[in-house]
A and B are shown apart, each in its own frame.
Chain A
Amino acid sequence: MPVEPVDQLLARAQALSWERFGRRVVFYLPGMFIVDGVRGRYPAVSITGPVCGLGCDHCSGEILKSMPAAQSPGELIEVCLRLRDRGVEGFLITGGSDRRGRLPWSRFLDALAEVKRRTGLHLSVHSGMVDGPTAAALKQAGVDQANLDIVGAEETWREVMHLADGGALLERSIDALHAAALEMVPHVVMGIHAGRLVGERRALEIVRRCTPKLLVWVVLMPLPATPMAGALPPTLEEAARLLAESRLLFPESEIALGCARPRGEYRRALERIAIDAGVNRVALYSEESVAYARSLGVEARFRETCCSIGSERPAASAPPPDLVQIAVESNL
Chain B
Amino acid sequence: MTPQTQPASQESPEFLRISLAAAMTLGIAPGWFYRGACLHCINLLMTYDEGCAANCSYCGLQRHREGKSEDKSFIRVPWPVVSLDEIVARSRDRLSAVKRVCLSMITHPRVARDARVILDRLHRQLPEVPISLLSNPTLLTRADLEFFRDIPIDRLGIAVDAATEPIFDRNRAREVSGPHRWDRYWRFFEEALEIFGPNRVGIHLIVGLGETEEEMIRLIGRIRKAGGSTHLFSFFPEAGSRLAAHPQPPVGQYRRVQLARYLIDEDLATAETFRFDERGRLISLGAALERAELATAGGTPFMTSGCPDETGAVACNRPFGDCTPGDDIRSFPFQPDEEDLATIRRQLEE
Q: A-side interface residues toward B, CB under 8 Å?
A: 48, 53, 71-75, 77-78, 98-99, 102, 104, 106-107, 110, 113-114
Contact = CB atoms under 8 A, between A and B. Distances in A.
B310 A99 contact: yes
B310 A53 contact: yes
26 contacts: A48-B312, A53-B310, A71-B199, A72-B265, A72-B266, A73-B267, A73-B268, A74-B266, A74-B267, A74-B268, A75-B267, A77-B268, A98-B309, A98-B310, A98-B311, A102-B311, A104-B311, A106-B313, A107-B266, A107-B312, A107-B313, A110-B291, A110-B294, A110-B295, A110-B298, A113-B294
Contacts of B312: 48, 104, 107
A98 B84 CA distance: 27
B128 interface: yes
Nearest to A103: B311
Range for the number of chain B residues in contact with chain A: 10 to 19
Contacts of B310: 53, 98-99
Nearest to B309: A98
Those 9 A-B pairs whose CB atoms lie nearest each other, nearest first: A74-B267, A104-B312, A53-B310, A98-B310, A72-B267, A74-B268, A98-B311, A73-B266, A110-B294
A114 B313 contact: no
Given A48-B312, A73-B267, A104-B313, 6 more contacts: A72-B267, A74-B266, A77-B268, A78-B267, A98-B310, A107-B300
Contact of B291 (A72, A75, A114): A114
Nearest to A51: B310
Contacts of B266: 72-74, 107
Contacts of A72: 199, 265-267
A78 B270 CA distance: 13
Does more than half of chain B's interface fall in helix, strand or loop, or is it mixed?
Answer: loop
A75 B291 CA distance: 14
A100 to B, nearest CB: 8
Contacts of A99: 128, 310
A72 B295 CA distance: 14
A189 to B, nearest CB: 23
A110 B293 CA distance: 11
Nearest to A48: B312
A104 B310 CA distance: 9
Contacts of A114: 291
Contacts of B269: 74
Interface string B147-191: 000000000000000000000000000000000000000000000
A71 B268 CA distance: 12
Contacts of A74: 266-269
B306 to A, nearest CB: 14
A48 B298 CA distance: 22
Interface in B193-245: 199
Contacts of B298: 110
B123 to A, nearest CB: 16
Please indicate which of the listed interface residues A48, A72, A75 has the most CB atoms of chain B within 10 Å of its own CB: A72
Nearest to B311: A98
Interface in B305-335: 309-313
Contacts of B291: 110, 114
Contacts of B313: 104, 106-107
Interface string B259-273: 000000111110000
A267 B103 CA distance: 51
Nearest to B335: A106
A99 B127 CA distance: 13
Contacts of A53: 310
A72 to B, nearest CB: 4
Contacts of B267: 72-75, 78
Contacts of B265: 72
A181 to B, nearest CB: 22
B345 to A, nearest CB: 17
A48 B268 CA distance: 17
A106 B300 CA distance: 10
A77 B290 CA distance: 14
A53 to B, nearest CB: 4
Nearest to A107: B312
A77 B199 CA distance: 18
B95 to A, nearest CB: 10
A73 B267 CA distance: 7
Contacts of A75: 267
A98 B300 CA distance: 20
A102 B269 CA distance: 27
A133 to B, nearest CB: 11
A73 B294 CA distance: 13
Contacts of A102: 311
Contacts of A106: 313
A114 B295 CA distance: 12
Nearest to B198: A71
Contacts of A113: 294
Contacts of B128: 99
A322 B112 CA distance: 64
Contacts of A107: 266, 300, 312-313
Interface in B36-74: none
A110 B298 CA distance: 9
Contacts of A77: 268
B273 to A, nearest CB: 12
Contacts of B199: 71-72
A71 B267 CA distance: 10
B160 to A, nearest CB: 22
A75 B311 CA distance: 18
Interface string B78-122: 000000000000000000000000000000000000000000000
